[in-house]
Amino acid sequence: MWFLTVGDGSTSSDDYDSKKRKQRAGGEPWGAKKPRHDLPPYRVHLTPYTVDSPICDFLELQRRYRSLLVPSDFLSVHLSWLSAFPLSQPFSLHHPSRIQVSSEKEAAPDAGAEPITADSDPAYSSKVLLLSSPGLEELYRCCMLFVDDMAEPRETPEHPLKQIKFLLGRKEEEAVLVGGEWSPSLDGLDPQADPQVLVRTAIRCAQAQTGIDLSGCTKWWRFAEFQYLQPGPPRRLQTVVVYLPDVWTIMPTLEEWEALCQQKAAEAAPPTQEAQG
């Protein structure tokens, strides 16, 4: 059984009138609310370190990036990109270089597995940064909604990180750079005297891990050089050089890309009845 109780409304009416009188006395409009906390003023925070420092040791990395997990055998890193891309000649994103990752159904190399050779030497390793970028014009259009034709529909701007990416491998549960250890028999005998030795290492490992042939790249910028001191005895110094090749020079043309897509589609198509018979 349901009961409906009806009151005279005197108490609620008095509360309503008293609240209204208080707000009118304070000069506030009805229903207006004050923010509980004042918004903090906008501030520009400067970094407590120089951004053009070419060398960082263990303590410097921990001071700069407090949440970065630095390996215990890390010794130092030389930021070669400061000399490769000075302020007078900065890195340019004019050239598009789209890298498409194959689907799970297609057979693809294991980007996390390093090619193993009989004489692999961990004293030197070579890694590559494979840049995937739409080009400067497309970047302006997607991220800044910069279009020549104002009649073109304007979409929601995207963050640049959604357009500028790097191809990485996966080793267990970690993302790793593409590359591997130096092989004297395949790459050359002296990485210190011949700078092309570690470039050959990068080309060989990238071909085995991703299927991308980087031998056609015309420029190999040294981006960074990491040094690790392995515990002994004997204690060994390991050097890992990270390169940034100009992958946009080996991008296929539109005709070559369409022919490659047709070839992939033909290979993935199921066999016909005549072929099965």
CA-CA distance, 13 to 163, in Å (whole number)? Answer: 60
116-138 average pLDDT score? 92
CB atoms within 10 A of CB 116: 10
For the stretch 148-161, pLDDT in tens is 665 666 678 888 88
User: Does residue 92 carry a pLDDT above 70?
Assistant: yes
Strand partners, 242: 127, 224
Q: Which of 126, 142, 140 is nearest to 223 (CA)?
A: 126
Q: What is the mean pLDDT of residues 80-103?
A: 88
Considering all CA atoms of the chain, what is the largest pairwise distance in Å, rounded to the nearest integer? 100
Q: Is the pLDDT of residue 24 over 60?
A: no
At residue 164 the predicted structure's pLDDT band, cuts being 50, 70 and 90, is very high
Q: Does residue 270 carry a pLDDT above 80?
A: no
